[in-house]
Amino acid sequence: MAHYAFLDENNIVTEVIVGKSENEDGIDWEQQYGNFRGQTCKRTSYNTNRGVHRLGGIPFRKNYACIGMTYDQTRDAFVPKKPYNSWVLNEDTCNWEAPIAMPELTQEQIDNKNYYIWNEEIQNWELING
């Protein structure tokens, strides 16, 4: 069993399906599904996130494709939507990162269910009381 992402004319993922495993029955299923639908189709790996395969295998296209993500042909990667204008793309993970690292919570903050959110207006992390 494998997963496949269908792309629109702007390389935006419009649908993800479960299909036949790569080269099952001697067929290139990525191409077969794409031809059948008349759309570009790219295989995606359910086990790949941020350039790491969670089962220790070879990471595939940096991230598992989800509707709304972009397929970047140059990087051969699925890239999520940019959450904030100030965030930058990490080339290794193909995920967006804040320009300032999120501070670590103290144990007291964790116990109080506090958490950080990004505040684009001040370009920094904001502690939220839980």
The residue segments making up the domain with residue 58 are 2-82
User: 6: which residues sit within 8 A by CB, 6+ positions away?
Assistant: 13, 14, 15, 16, 17, 33, 34, 37, 39, 40, 41
At 64 the pLDDT is 97
pLDDT digits 0-9 by tens, 44-89: 999 999 999 999 988 899 999 999 999 999 999 999 999 999 999 9
What is the identity of the amino acid at 51? G
Residues of the chain with pLDDT > 90, as a percent, come to 88
> Does residue 119 fall inside a structural domain?
no
pLDDT at 23: 73
Compute the distance between CA of residue 72 and CA of residue 12 in angstroms, rounded to an integer.
9
pLDDT computed for residue 36 by the predictor: 93
pLDDT of residue 120: 98
Q: Tell me if 118 is assigned to some domain.
A: no
Say which amino acid occupies 63: N
SS3 34: helix
Predicted model pTM: 0.87
Residue 73 lies inside a defined structural domain of this protein:
yes
- Structural domain count, the chain: 1
**Half-sphere exposure of residue 51: CA atoms within 13 angstroms, side-chain side:** 10
Q: Report yes or no on 90 lying in a domain.
A: no
- Domain assignment present for residue 17? The answer is yes
- pLDDT category of residue 115 using cuts at 50, 70 and 90: very high
In a domain, 9, yes or no: yes
Q: How far apart are CA 44 and CA 65, in angstroms?
A: 6
In a domain, 14, yes or no: yes
Domain assignment present for residue 128? The answer is no
What is the enclosing helix (H) or strand (E) of 79?
Answer: strand 77-79
- pLDDT band (50, 70, 90) for residue 25: confident
